[in-house]
């Protein structure tokens, strides 16, 4: 049975066969692209999330420095106050 009928266009079964074969080609390509984007793309999701994580990390660093005695109470409170008053980048909403 020839692939194309006499009019130069595929009939019903040939369309089905082409659709199945395209799934075998496009599915691995799209899955590979999605994997590569997750592996090598930007981390952290949206900018607000990265800012919140960085702020929590900074507070934790200040707490640990205070606990080890590297900074005094006044310096610790000043650091926490500075972190809370840090200006927000445009378009980033925080939950407080």
* Residues 17-66 pLDDT 10s: 888 999 999 999 999 999 998 888 776 555 555 666 667 788 889 999 99
Residue 52, in any domain of the structure:
yes
Structural contact between residues 90 and 44, judged by C-beta atoms closer than 8 angstroms: no
Residue 62, in any domain of the structure:
yes
d(CA 14, CA 5): 10
pLDDT of residue 84: 82
Per-residue pLDDT band for 86 (boundaries 50, 70, 90) equals confident
- Total structural domains in the chain? 1
Residue 16, in any domain of the structure:
no
pLDDT of residue 68: 93
DSSP 6: T
Residue 80, in any domain of the structure:
yes
Residue 12, in any domain of the structure:
no
Residue 40, in any domain of the structure:
no
Residue 56, in any domain of the structure:
yes
Q: Give the chain's length.
A: 96
pTM over 0.75: no
By residue range, what is the domain housing residue 54? Answer: 47-84
């Amino acid at each position: 049975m020839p692939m194309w009928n006499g009019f130069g266009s595929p009939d019903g079964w040939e369309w089905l066969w082409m659709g199945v074969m395209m799934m075998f080609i496009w599915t691995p390509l799209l899955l590979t692209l999605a994997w590569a984007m997750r592996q090598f793309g930007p981390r952290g999701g949206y900018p607000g999330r990265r800012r919140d994580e960085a702020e929590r990390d900074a507070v934790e660093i200040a707490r640990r420095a205070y606990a080890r005695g590297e900074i005094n109470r006044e310096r610790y409170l000043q650091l926490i106050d500075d972190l809370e008053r840090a200006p927000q980048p445009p378009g980033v909403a925080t939950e407080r």
